[in-house]
Amino acid sequence: MKDFSKHWNGSKSPRKQRKYRANAPLNLKHRMVSAHLSKELRQQYHTRSFPIRKGDTVLVMRGKFKGSEGKVEKVYTKQLRVTVDSAKITSKKGTKIPIKIRPSALLIKELNLSDKLREKSLVKYGKAR
């Protein structure tokens, strides 16, 4: 049995929604690891959201670390999660453990535009809207 179909239209069933997200290939999961842009970036690039990348500065909007701002340390594409340098807990041994956060709970404040192709795609993506 096939796990994933690219011809899937959508379903209201939560079970099928979860199955789609879990079995999606990495090239589609990359787009799922997107977060909203700040108001300034939204006006500048004419788009609401964009995929998160290591080095982006984000603001945590939900959860225990709400209000903390930091840089993205790592993006877990398979798990659809992100770690931020300001969101860490201390273990009993005293080591800092990064917390994996859903990208929907983040707001991108500053983009890492060291990759020229990313900047080009951001401008192109905004013009299409």
As a whole number of angstroms, the distance between CA 113 and CA 100 comes to 23
92 CB-near residues (< 8 Å, 6+ apart): none
Residue 46 in contact with residue 124, Cβ under 8 Å? Answer: no
Model confidence, pTM: 0.88
Q: What stretches of the chain show up as alpha helix (H) in DSSP? A: 14-23, 26-32, 39-45, 116-127
The first and second tokens of residue 85, run together, are 């340098």
- Average pLDDT across each block of 10 residues of the chain; the chain has 129 residues. List them in order: 74 90 92 96 93 97 96 97 96 96 97 93 79
DSSP output for 91-120: -TTS-EEEEEE-GGGEEEEE----SHHHHH
The pLDDT assigned to 129 comes to: 64
64 CB-near residues (< 8 Å, 6+ apart): 87, 99
Domains of the chain by start residue, with CATH: 14-127 (2.30.30.30)
